[in-house]
């Protein structure tokens, strides 16, 4: 193999691994580590390599999967027509340039003295969706995906009240097929509520309502119906099915409203660009008072005739533009840099700021991420810095105001360069940074900071849920050296705990009782409690469903772990390494010997005879006569298991109407396909029907 190709192959493998990991972080853990732009960059690099060296397109390439949702377990369908995106204008000049392009394109056919009639609409910061109605009945809801093909999220849209099951018949005439486009958003109040609940459960809060909405829509496991019910669908386009004679975007919005959809009430006709700019300013001023987040104004040419004449270039129409709001910024003083030590020993520098208001919230700290980031921005204590919130809850330090540093230096003030400490601020161990890594770490596994964070993690509600074991108590237990490793927690005795400061007999009894209760857990919760990197609720659930017991997981090879649907190479490596480590194995053994336990797999636990579906793996697809959860429950009660996507290990595909790619795959792999009646028979213990 030519050296160049070898190198490309190595890089492609690396990229595929990275993309898998980021997919898992984004889609399964809802906690992306990199921005969308950075993700797109990795993806583009892989695309380039794969098109240059076609032989590289391996089975595990993220590019083998359709849409933007690898490993998601949703069926995919082509859109009725492509779901376009919008070009952006960042300022008035760019907006005027857009109008000039329109005039130029229309040329002589349009009187350039005439003002163009626009419709200005809020640019909703959510997740684009296509709803297809057949004879007025909701047939399918698709995510935007890659614009050509989307994922079938109909089941998850059912609980959303503003997605009508039927178009209102008293409205505009109902066409045989209507393709309605709009945005799924999570209103501010519900977003705040969701994040409060997540923080209370010790889960990371969502960065913004957009991520939270997209995450809610794409839930596969343990669907949270309350989260779905809090979503809102706002309609803004009709790609197919407009009543004949529809001449304007305004009448499209009227049609949508007449069918029962929510149409943004802030939308306005604007006579000429100046009126559109005025609307943009009004929306900008009022954005924080709106119930949903918006990040600009979409300005669309009202006349459908003009829209048709203008058409589209590549991914965006020529007749509309997104006029974006500038990010909200403020300047303040960087008073200091504090270093926090995380659960994995990572040192995170945190900027301590003179409190400042940005976009409606007071900001007094913000993460500086790592040493490279500090150097890239040349951030020094004493600097005046610009803080920004761009749609995200988490503020960023954008840059240093250098003029202010120069002035300060002239006045004799010092601005020393900042270096992360060479010693861990908590245990004084020498910190280290591995070649190729951006993170500086404290390598001491017994570092009290790591232990404290690990204990808090173990005690949180999603893990062993130890009632009353909060931050202060954890600090006391570690500082008094009563707890030197996780398992020490379960060896604590009442008198010991009672001897802690501000601790009475009753509180000590309560803690010991809570610890006793938390010993009975599930395998998934136990895996979360161990604090393995990248193992959150979803991955723990996947592992526990796959292995059923701890022993086979501890005996599994990296390849076996990685072969599980939804587990990427980084996660597999992290799990494998953790479980291979002698100290960790001893900890696991000690935790179990101190009484931490969970029910064995279903068959062993109940001691019952085999159930009709024991050992069988099912995939559901297409539209079924009841919500998927109904079938999931029926199958699981009969001892079967639901998996997200079709593979050689699948025993049956239960297919409803309009089954798509999964049905094709099942047929290719010769997997038995059942309809609902067939499934029912199987559950009743009758011989498997042949379909
Ligand atoms: S119209 C052909 N109207 O913004 C026109 N899009 O950045 C397609 N969006 O993909 C879209 N608010 O998901 C339109 N009032 C609005 C919108 C809107 C938000 C989203 C949409 C689109 C994205 C482009």
Per-residue pLDDT tens over the stretch 496-517: 999 999 999 999 999 999 999 9
List, for residues 185-244, the tens digit of each pLDDT value.
999 999 999 988 887 776 778 878 888 999 899 887 667 888 899 999 999 999 999 999
Quote the pLDDT of residue 61.
59
Q: What is the CATH number of the domain that holds 665?
A: 3.40.50.10190
The single residue listed with the structure tokens 């193999």 is 1
Pairing of strands 652-655, 672-674: parallel
Distance 143 CA to ligand 1 centre (A): 13
Quote the pLDDT of residue 604.
39
> Is residue 81 in a domain?
no
Residue 403 host element (H or E): helix 402-410
The neighbour count for residue 284, using CB atoms within 10 Å, is 16
Residues 201 and 301 in one domain: yes
Distance 81 CA to ligand 1 centre (A): 15
Q: What is the DSSP letter of 248?
A: B
Q: Is the pLDDT of residue 29 over 60?
A: no
Residues 43 and 139 in one domain: no
> Is residue 441 in a domain?
no
Residues 98 and 130 in one domain: yes
Residue 542 host element (H or E): helix 537-547
Q: What is the C-alpha to C-alpha distance for residues 34 and 41, in angstroms, rounded to an integer?
A: 11
238, 177 contact by CB (below 8 A): no
Residue 79 CB contacts under 8 Å (≥ 6 apart), including other chains: 130, 142, 145, 147, 148, 149, 150, 179
Q: Which residues line ligand 1 (CB under 6 A)?
A: 84-86, 121, 123-124, 128, 183, 236-237, 298, 317, 320, 322
Mean pLDDT of the chain: 88
Choosing from 6, 10, 123, 419, the catalytic residue is 123
> Is residue 674 in a domain?
yes
Residues 188 and 316 in one domain: yes
Report residue 42's pLDDT band, with 50, 70 and 90 as the boundaries. confident
For the CA of 322, the closest atom of ligand 1 is: 7
Residues 511 and 532 in one domain: no
Q: Is the pLDDT of residue 602 over 60?
A: no
Residue 568 CB contacts under 8 Å (≥ 6 apart), including other chains: 17, 20, 21, 23, 24, 562
Q: What is the CATH number of the domain that holds 314?
A: 3.30.470.30
Residues 263 and 220 in one domain: yes
Q: Could you tell me the residue range of the domain that residue 51 belongs to?
A: 2-64
Residues 26 and 104 in one domain: no
At 394, give phi and psi (nearest 5°).
-80, 120
Number of domains the chain is built from: 6
298, 122 contact by CB (below 8 A): yes
Residues for the chain: how many in total?
Answer: 691
Query: 441, 268, 416: which is closest to 347 by C-alpha?
Result: 441
Pairing of strands 117-124, 127-134: unpaired
Average pLDDT over residues 615-622: 88
The neighbour count for residue 35, using CB atoms within 10 Å, is 10
Quote the pLDDT of residue 649.
83
> Is residue 82 in a domain?
no
**What are the distances in angstroms from CA 531 to CA 160, 181, 367, 456?**
35, 42, 22, 10
300 included as an active-site residue: no
Residues 47 and 167 in one domain: no
Residues 475 and 390 in one domain: no
Query: 322, 129, 142, 146: which is closest to 234 by C-alpha?
Result: 129
Residues 572 and 546 in one domain: yes
Q: What is the C-alpha to C-alpha distance for residues 385 and 377, in angstroms, rounded to an integer?
A: 10
Higher pLDDT: 644 or 83? It is: 83
List, for residues 443-477, the tens digit of each pLDDT value.
998 899 999 999 999 998 889 999 999 999 999 99
List, for residues 417-435, the tens digit of each pLDDT value.
999 999 999 999 999 998 8
Question: What is the percent of the chain where pLDDT is above 90?
Answer: 62
198, 204 contact by CB (below 8 A): yes
Tokens of 242: 């407009």
> Is residue 435 in a domain?
no
Among 577, 597, 617, the domain boundary falls at 597
Among 535, 563, 597, the domain boundary falls at 597
> Is residue 173 in a domain?
yes
Q: What is the CATH number of the domain that holds 35?
A: 1.10.287.610
Higher pLDDT: 5 or 511? It is: 511
Distance 122 CA to ligand 1 centre (A): 9
> Is residue 74 in a domain?
no
Average pLDDT over residues 10-39: 69
Residues 354 and 503 in one domain: no
The neighbour count for residue 263, using CB atoms within 10 Å, is 18
Sign of CA dihedral 656, 615, 645, 599: positive
Residues 276 and 198 in one domain: yes
Q: What is the CATH number of the domain that holds 513?
A: 1.10.150.20
Query: 515, 513, 447, 509: which is closest to 478 by C-alpha?
Result: 447
Q: What is the C-alpha to C-alpha distance for residues 595 and 601, in angstroms, rounded to an integer?
A: 18
Query: 266, 262, 267: which is closest to 234 by C-alpha?
Result: 262
Among 324, 354, 380, the domain boundary falls at 324
At 270, give phi and psi (nearest 5°).
-130, 125
> Is residue 415 in a domain?
no
Instruction: Cite the DSSP H helix spans in 291-370.
Output: 304-310
Of all protein residues, whose CA lies closest to atom 13 belonging to ligand 1?
A: 128
């Amino acid at each position: 193999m030519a050296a160049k190709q070898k190198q490309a192959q190595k890089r492609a493998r690396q990229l595929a691994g990275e993309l898998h990991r980021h997919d898992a972080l984004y889609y399964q853990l809802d906690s992306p580590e990199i921005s969308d732009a950075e993700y797109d960059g990795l993806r583009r690099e892989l695309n380039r390599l794969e098109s240059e060296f076609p032989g590289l397109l391996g089975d595990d390439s993220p590019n083998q999967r359709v849409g933007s949702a690898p490993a998601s377990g949703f069926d995919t369908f082509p859109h009725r027509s492509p779901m376009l995106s919008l070009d952006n204008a960042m300022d008035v000049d760019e907006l005027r340039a857009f109008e000039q392009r329109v005039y130029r394109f229309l040329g002589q056919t349009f009187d350039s003295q005439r003002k163009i009639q626009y419709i200005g609409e809020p640019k909703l910061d959510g997740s684009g969706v296509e709803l297809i109605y057949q004879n007025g009945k909701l047939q399918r809801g698709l995510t935007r995906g890659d614009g050509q093909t989307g994922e079938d999220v109909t089941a998850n849209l059912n609980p959303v009240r503003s997605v009508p099951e039927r178009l209102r018949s008293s409205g505009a005439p109902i066409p045989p097929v209507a393709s309605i486009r709009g945005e799924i958003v999570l209103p501010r109040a519900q977003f705040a509520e969701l994040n409060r609940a997540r923080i209370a459960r010790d889960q990371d809060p969502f960065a913004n309502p957009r991520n939270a909405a997209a995450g809610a829509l794409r839930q596969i496991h343990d669907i949270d119906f309350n989260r779905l019910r809090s979503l809102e669908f706002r309609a803004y386009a009709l790609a197919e099915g407009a009543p004949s004679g529809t001449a304007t975007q305004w009448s499209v919005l009227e049609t949508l409203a007449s069918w029962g959809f929510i149409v943004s009430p802030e939308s306005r006709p604007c006579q000429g660009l100046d009126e559109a700019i005025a609307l943009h300013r009004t929306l900008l001023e009022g954005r924080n008072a709106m119930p949903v987040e918006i990040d600009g104004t979409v300005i669309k040419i009202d006349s459908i005739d003009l829209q048709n004449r203008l058409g589209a270039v590549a991914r965006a129409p020529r007749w509309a533009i997104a006029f974006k709001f500038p990010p909200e910024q403020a300047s303040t003083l960087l008073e200091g840099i504090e270093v926090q030590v995380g659960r994995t020993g990572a040192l995170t520098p945190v900027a301590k700021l003179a409190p400042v208001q940005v976009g409606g919230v007071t900001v007094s700290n913000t993460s500086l991420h790592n040493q490279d980031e500090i150097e890239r921005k040349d951030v020094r204590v004493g600097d005046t810095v610009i803080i920004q919130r761009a749609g995200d809850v988490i503020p960023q330090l954008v840059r240093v105001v250098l003029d202010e540093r120069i002035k300060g230096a002239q006045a004799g003030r010092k601005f020393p360069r900042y270096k992360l400490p060479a010693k861990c601020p908590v245990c004084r161990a020498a910190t280290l940074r591995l070649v190729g890594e951006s993170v500086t770490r404290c390598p001491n596994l017994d570092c009290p900071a790591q232990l404290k964070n690990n204990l808090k993690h173990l005690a949180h509600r999603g893990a062993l849920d130890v009632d009353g074991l909060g931050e202060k108590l954890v600090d006391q237990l570690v500082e008094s050296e009563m707890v030197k490793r996780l398992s020490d927690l379960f060896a604590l005795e009442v008198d010991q705990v009672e001897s802690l400061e501000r601790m009475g007999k009753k509180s000590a009894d309560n803690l010991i009782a809570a610890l006793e209760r938390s010993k009975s857990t599930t395998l998934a919760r136990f895996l979360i409690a161990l604090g393995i990197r990248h193992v959150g609720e979803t991955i723990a659930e996947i592992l526990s469903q796959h292995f059923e017991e701890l022993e086979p997981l501890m005996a599994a090879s990296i390849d076996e772990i990685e072969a599980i649907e939804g587990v990427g190479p980084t996660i597999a490596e992290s799990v494998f390494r953790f479980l291979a480590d002698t100290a960790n194995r001893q900890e696991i053994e000690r935790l179990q010997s101190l009484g931490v336990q969970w029910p064995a797999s279903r068959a062993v636990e109940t001691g019952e005879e085999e159930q009709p579906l024991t050992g069988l793996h099912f995939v559901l697809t297409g539209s079924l006569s009841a919500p998927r959860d109904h079938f999931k429950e029926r199958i699981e009660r009969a001892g079967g298991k639901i998996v997200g996507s079709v593979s050689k290990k699948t025993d049956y595909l239960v297919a409803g109407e309009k089954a798509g790619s999964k049905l094709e795959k099942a047929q290719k792999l010769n997997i038995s396909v059942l309809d609902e009646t067939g499934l029912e028979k199987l559950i009743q213990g009758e011989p498997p029907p042949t379909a």
